[in-house]
Amino acid sequence: MSRPRVVIAGAGFGGLTCARALKRAPVDVLLVDRNNYHLFTPLLYQVASALLDPGEIARPVRQLIRPLHNADFRQASIIGVDFDGRRLLTDRGDIPYDYLVLATGAQTDYFGNVSMARYAMGLKDLDEGLAIRNRVLEQFEASRWTDDPERRRMLLTFAVVGGGPTGVEMAGAVSELIRLVLRKDYRDLDINEVRVVLMEAAPYVLAAFAPSLRQAALRSLRRKGIEVMLGAKVESVTESALRLEGGEEIAASTVIWTAGVRASAVGQSTGVQLARQARIKVDPTLQIPGHPVVFVIGDLAGASDGRALLPMLIPVAMQAGRHVAASIADMVEAGGARAFRYKDPGIMATIGRNSAVAQLGWVHLSGFPGWVFWLVVHLVNVVSFRSRVIVLVNWAWDYLFYDRPVRLIVRARP
């Protein structure tokens, strides 16, 4: 008798954790992802700011699942689900399942703003991270060709929209790339012509953190030369400018958009009921109502803790992955799925070198202690030993010599 097949759509933190947790279960696991790699997303902004190369924050899925003798991988984009026929539909063919775990994550949301979608850059996947790196470096090269200070200022203004952890980290990293590295590369650069602007619609950054940590982050950002604009709502973006609600225009040829995120399109394509941010409504067990063999985890899951939807965070995805793996293992043995409860380990965000904020229950860290904590957590969690060595060499190099190794403008020929 063949073993039940668990198909996991998405090899992010949720999907990969679920596959690992099924290692000893009497099932066959098939991971499906549109990319052939698992991405360590917390360091994506370091690829975008030319500190790390893709190989340092991503691992081939096939390499990661080698120790799992019941798991295999297929690269494909997910189109939908045939619930009645129990088939996952992909651009390369259908995949039958006995149990299905949907874990395709989230994507940038421009809230239907066409100008934003066209001219602003997202930072959710590796291709986007490399595109931002290329763009920032290209603007500096282009700025050397003009005698018009207005145009130079437009080329050298980098606007980051969204004061959440991604926006704060990206603004901090771009500012340091410019002030510590590019300044030395461009001898005739007038640093006063360069602007890094962080815009946030709320009256504070890092809404998820305690007020004292928000304040600490704000001070840290401003100390690093970042212009933080609070209460600033972006209305539209063009090739060369950004317009705020109220009419103010800021000349900028680079706009990085981190202010909106919604669940991946897989939710919509399944036709099931959706919650906020296009997330799939699920039972407390993370099953889709009426589809007991289909689970949803991670950013795609509209799971609630009773008061609000759970945040789109890696710990939520990993805990749900483990929980669902246990439920499936029970169901295979004629048991049932249990309700999921999220245990919050805390949150953190870094603002360039030397500074971070961390909120771990009652413990609040900021500044250098926060940064050391951030460093340890991330180094421990970077996906493999080898990466850890290389990431550490790169970080140490940057720290000691203020030098970024990979400020290359590269794109694979299509």
The residue ranges that bind a second copy (CB under 8 A) are 35-37, 53-56, 58, 60, 62-63, 66, 72, 74-76, 92-93, 126-128, 130-131, 133-134, 137, 141-142, 144-145, 184-188, 386-387, 389-390, 393-394, 397, 403, 405-414
Cα 103 from Cα 11, distance rounded (Å): 7
Residue from 219, 223, 201 nearest 211 by CA: 219
CB of 31 to a second copy, least distance (A): 12
Tokens read off for 299: 């950013």
- Number of other residues whose CB lies within 10 A of the CB of residue 60: 15
Q: How far is the CB of 88 from a second copy (least distance, A)?
A: 13
**Other beta carbons within 10 Å of 53:** 19
Quickly count: other Cβ atoms within 10 Å of residue 144's Cβ.
11
Q: Output the smallest distance, CB 134 to a second copy, in A.
A: 6
Choosing from 56, 128, 169, 176, the catalytic residue is 169
| Nearer CB in complex with a second copy: 353/407 | 407
Q: How far is CA 380 from CA 31, 217, 251, 352, in A?
A: 25, 24, 41, 19
Closer to a second copy at the Cβ: 34 or 243? 34
List C-alpha distances in Å: 372 to 3, 198, 221, 375, 410. 46, 24, 17, 5, 32
| Residue 368 or 399 with smaller CB distance to a second copy | 399
CA 152 – CA 142 distance, rounded (Å): 8
Evaluate whether 163 touches 202 at the Cβ level (below 8 Å). yes
Report CA 30 to chain centroid distance, whole Å. 24
Q: Which is nearer to a second copy, 36 or 269 (CB)?
A: 36
3-state secondary structure 163-224: CCHHHHHHHHHHHHHHHHHHHHHCCCCCHHHCEEEEEECCCCCCCCCCHHHHHHHHHHHHHC
Report the residue number, 50 or 278, with the smaller CB distance to a second copy: 50
C-alpha span between 116 and 178 (Å, rounded)? 25
**Closest alpha carbon to 410 in 129, 166, 61, 146:** 129
Nearest approach, Cβ of residue 66 and a second copy (Å)? 7
In angstroms, give the least distance from the CB of 186 to a second copy. 7
Query: Is residue 150 annotated as a catalytic residue, yes or no?
Result: no
Shortest Å, Cβ 199 to a second copy: 22
3-state secondary structure 132-157: HHHHHHHHHHHHCCCCCHHHHHHHCE
Least Å distance between CB 52 and a second copy? 8
Rank residues 191 and 409 by Cβ distance to a second copy and give the closer one.
409
CA distance 370 to 348: 8
Q: Which residues are catalytic?
A: 169
